[in-house]
Structure 1
Amino acid sequence: MAAPSSRRSERIDALRGFAVFGILLINVWGFVYGYAVLRYGPMGGDDSQADRFAVFFAAAFAEQKFYPIFSFLFGAGFALQIRSLTKSVGALEAMRIYRRRLGWLLVVGLLHGSLLWFGDILTAYALTGFWVFRKGLQPLSKVRESFDAAVLLNGGLLLLMALLTVFIATSSDFAADALVEVLRAADIYVNGGWGEVARERLKDFGTNLSGFWLFIPRLMLLFLLGVFAVRLGWITRPHRHRRLWLCVLAAGLLVALPLNLWWGYSAVDMAVGAGTPRPTSHAALYLLELSGPALGAAYIAAFMLAGERAMDSVARWLAPVGRMALTNYLVQSLALGLMLPAYGLGLGALLGRIELLALCMAIMLVQVLLSRWWLSGHQQGPFEALWRRFTYRR
């Protein structure tokens, strides 16, 4: 079966490329410190102000901002693709095709999480997608009902997380155990052999999967927001919704940004006082569940409000990365998995936090150049082409 052609949005592709790079800024820490409560590891007197800035920057401007953007765009991409498929092959065949698409993504996600990166998000996307692609085909009023139900579910989970946060903040044993665990995991990921790292990765991937009961409801909400954004024209015709995006940007800058700056400061404080974090740091971390995605929404608004000339300049560099988002995401995991462990280049034991941030910037630059080069001779990235071939097989 021939795949239907679709007109791509450079603005959306550029935003997707921006999100891919933002995710790298957070994933890199897991390759050094593992699946730990102390994401940025413990810091001591040997860590420079530059290292503290690296933690502050990643926490304040990247953590909990970019997976919501990517999830929102996944839902939007579903709505765009299913619309195109339905027009070309009918609703029933469109559902079959999209089911194959999600099945392929699920397999890739499980392999990615097992072999490269325990924090894989593709598995969760595929599992959530099987639910959303049925809901997203319904009339808008029904989609709204599903969205309202997802809001209530996430509200209940936030209340549960508040109770857990209070418990953690008042438990000295939890903080001490977290410090011991991050030191143990970091020693394995940085200094361990291939077999040791593989076993630890599988254990951490299992922990990641066990937390899906908390994570997938967030994805449900974000996917449905993406469906709304397409069906109501928020991102397909952003010039008609400038007032909406101005409100989102204002809320992000005036409310979410100060809270995220507080979390950036608190993340450094938690890393420095790893054994005895302040209760206020836990409060900032809890509020990040809302303030992080809110600032991510402001990033989206900035892209939607950008003028054509400015967006053309940005898209020239970021849109190719976004068109190859799956390939670039997987290659990032491969690159970090080869460069940081002792059985690879062993850079994890040599680089400080600011140098890890610089390494991410170098990977981003290389991916920009490679994406532009690859797409000068191909329609899609290599993994996107495989995905498309499986999806539209006869």
Structure 2
Amino acid sequence: MSAATTPAGERHQSIDAVRGFAVLGILLMNIVGMGLPSFAYLDPTYAGGAEGADLWTWAASNVLVDGKMRALFTMLFGASAVLIAERAARSEGGLGPAQTHYRRLFWLLLFGLAHAFLAWYGDVLTLYAVAGLLIFPFRKLPARMQIALGAAILLLLLTKNVWMSGQIEALRAAALAPGAAAETVQAWRETSMTISPPPEAKAAEIALFQGSFADAIQARANLLGLFYAFLFPTEMLPEAVGQMFVGMGLFRLGFFTLGWSGRAYGALIAFGYLVCVPVTAWLAWLIWKSGFDPLTLHEMQVWQQLTRPFIGLAHAAVLLLVVRAGVARGLVGRLADAGRMAFSNYLMSSVLTSLVFCGYGLGLFGELSRFQLLGVVAGVWAFMLGWSTPWLRRFHYGPFEWAWRSLVQWRLQPFTRRPAGAAAAAG
């Protein structure tokens, strides 16, 4: 999302291509929450189907995509914070690094809140705005210290979640034991609803999203209340901060700008695909073998936090080697242009899918299976890859990047490119 503050002539195609890849990949998981009741994101038996093609769609997404693309996107945001601060420090007469950063975050927060209520309750922009406040003072730490700090935060989060899983397991055992106290049974009932919502919650969510525009806003407000009250401070924020620190350090070590050796990229790919993917697949198999038991599902999802960043970085390393080799240039160029317009593409994907699924559009919320949702993904991907390149031939920035940059600078920025002939005549 650095396009909002990065002149077109000073870009790294490698970063843009990875960002474009990540914004496309995020949709593979977001589409589940966009088109199905929210808990289906975790449990395919809740909605969307858990047999045949639907099961394989869940399994492939769980192993290769879930949390991996978001981790990569978040790392890139941390990298962009460093990149933009460095460019602001070199500019003469413009905003300084801190002023640029905090203005960007202020407007990003407002964009994010509007996006969350009007289009997609799973918005990450508000999260990035808050996490960005916390990481900026540490941008000048040594790169390896930034990575170590990020890793420590992520390990602390994992430790907390493992402990909580144990507490939930103990509570269930106590509540199901003969002669369990009434308060213990009630505590288990309340806890079990957080890891396995009742059917009436699903029906109410479907009814709202298939209703009017106001109904859809109400549905998003209900879900956002849960997110902001519980998940945001305890799960989403520490994870984002940790991943941003890792991204800052990796950027400064040259990972995203092709500064690593082929052997180093290869080692990361090997660890991600030969170690982390099999471990994640085994955890997914345990979930399936349990019949998607809510406690097993929750526990295995917790342990998958260990492997997610490495698989996401392995995906990025493959693409970075492709960029370095100069092969598949047409696809790489399309991905890079989609990455230059990642802010616009992220928001537009939510607008398009809301029109597909909500009652004020086609009203398909809850109607498609998990596998069928991939058809919607393919259509939005075609849109992202199809419009970004021709748009950037005519304009300096994507529409939302331009608006964001103009708001940060508090003056309208150049938008339309001058035709080559006109520029030559003027010269």
User: Normalising to structure 1: TM-score of the pair?
Assistant: 0.87
Aligned partner of 2:198 in structure 1 is 180
Query: What CA distance in whole angstroms lies between the structure 2 residues aligned with 1:185 and 1:251?
Result: 44
Shift in alpha-carbon separation, 1:146–1:256, aligned structure 2, 3 A? closer
Q: How many Å apart are 1:234 and its aligned residue?
A: 2.4
Structure having the higher Rg: 2
How far residue 24 of structure 1 moved from its aligned partner, in angstroms, is 0.6
- The 5 A counterparts of 1:227-238 are 227-238=248-259
- Take 2:351 and 2:410, find their aligned partners in 1: how far apart are those partners? 28
Q: In structure 2, what is the Cα distance between the partners aligned to 1:120 and 1:45? A: 21
Q: Distance in 1 between matches of 2:298 and 2:226?
A: 21
* CA distance in 2: counterparts of 1:284 and 1:256, whole angstroms: 14
Does the 8 A contact of 2:75 with 2:244 survive in 1?
yes
User: Are residues 1:116 and 2:119 paired?
Assistant: yes
Match of 2:303 in 1: 287
CA contact (8 A) 2:334 2:388 kept: no
Alignment pair present for 1:251 and 2:268 = no
Task: Give the Cα–Cα distance (whole angstroms) in 1 for the partners of residues 95 and 353 of structure 2.
Answer: 41
* CA RMSD of superposed structures (Å): 2.8
- Name 2:414's counterpart in structure 1: none
Task: Work out the CA distance in 1 between the residues paired with 2:365 and 2:155.
Answer: 38
CA contact (8 A) 1:11 1:311 kept: no
- How far the C-alpha of 1:324 sits from its partner, in A, is 0.6
2:45 to 42, 46, 51: 42
Q: Is the 8 A contact 1:20 1:322 kept in 2?
A: yes
Distance 1:38 1:341 in 2: 17
Q: Distance in 2 between matches of 1:246 and 1:252?
A: 10
Q: What is the letter of the counterpart of residue 377 of structure 2?
A: C
On the 8 A contact 2:27/2:377 being kept in 1, the answer is yes
SS state at 1:42 partner: coil
How big is the shift at 1:41? 4.2
Equivalence map 1:80-229=2 (5 Å): 80-89=83-92, 93-136=96-139, 138-140=140-142, 144-145=144-145, 147-169=147-169, 171=172, 173=189, 178-180=196-198, 183-184=202-203, 186-210=205-229, 211-213=231-233, 214-229=235-250
Q: Following the alignment from structure 1 to structure 2, what is the Cα–Cα distance between the partners of residues 192 and 39?
A: 24
Q: Distance in 1 between matches of 2:81 and 2:360?
A: 39
Distance 2:379 2:48 in 1: 27
Cα displacement string for residues 187-235 of structure 1 (whole angstroms, at most 9, x for unaligned residues):
2355344333321211211222232222222222222222222322222
Deviations 1:124-150 (A, max 9, x none): 1111112222210x242xx65555444
Change beyond 3 A, Cα 1:126–1:14: same
Kept in 2: contact 1:31–1:189 (CA 8 A): no
Counterpart in the other structure of 1:329:
346
Map of 1:20-59 to 2, 5 A cutoff?
A: 20-36=23-39, 39-42=42-45, 49-59=52-62
Following the alignment from structure 1 to structure 2, what is the Cα–Cα distance between the partners of residues 110 and 319? 27
Contact 1:22 1:62 in 2 (8 A): yes
Residue 364 (1) aligns with residue 381 (2):
yes
Paired residue total: 385
Separation (CA, whole Å) in 2 of partners of 1:39 and 1:278: 12
Q: How big is each residue's C-alpha offset from its partner over 1:330-385, in whole Å with a ceiling of 9 and x where there is no partner?
A: 11111111111233201224322211112111110122101122112111110001
Task: Report if the CA contact (8 A) 1:56-1:267 is conserved.
Answer: no
Q: What CA distance in whole angstroms lies between the structure 2 residues aligned with 1:46 and 1:98?
A: 44
Determine helix, strand or coil for the equivalent of 1:347.
coil
User: Where does residue 303 of structure 1 map in the other structure?
Assistant: 319
Cα shift readout 1:235-270 (whole Å, capped 9, x = no counterpart):
2243x4333322211110111111232344456567
Residue 269 and residue 55 in structure 1: after superposition, are their counterparts in 2 closer, same or farther (change >3 A)? farther
Output the amino acid matched with 1:80.
L
Task: Say if 1:34 and 1:189, in contact at 8 Å, map to a contact too.
Answer: no
Q: 2:261 is paired with a residue of what secondary structure?
A: helix
Q: Within 2, Cα distance between the matches of 1:267 and 1:194?
A: 36
1:41-61 per-residue CA deviation (whole Å, 9 max, x = no partner) reads 426998651222222222222
Match of 2:282 in 1: 262
- CA deviations on 1:51-91 (whole Å, 9 max, x unpaired) are 22222222222101011100111111122211111111389
Structure 1 stretches lacking a partner, 5+ long: none
Q: Assess if the C-alpha contact under 8 Å between 2:119 and 2:350 holds in 1.
A: yes
When residues 175 and 328 of structure 1 are mapped into structure 2, their CA distance, relative to the original with a 3 A threshold, is same
Report which stretch shifted further, 228-237 or 86-95. 86-95
Residue in structure 1 matching 2:400, options 365, 377, 383: 383
Amino acid at match of 2:126: T
Listed one character per residue, the Cα deviations across residues 153-185 of structure 1 (whole Å, up to 9, x for unaligned) are: 332221220122234456385557714155245
CA-to-aligned-CA distance 1:96-152 (integer Å, 9 cap, x gap): 12211111111111111122111110111111112222210x242xx6555544433
**Which deviates more from structure 2 when the two are superposed, residues 191-200 or residues 344-353?**
191-200
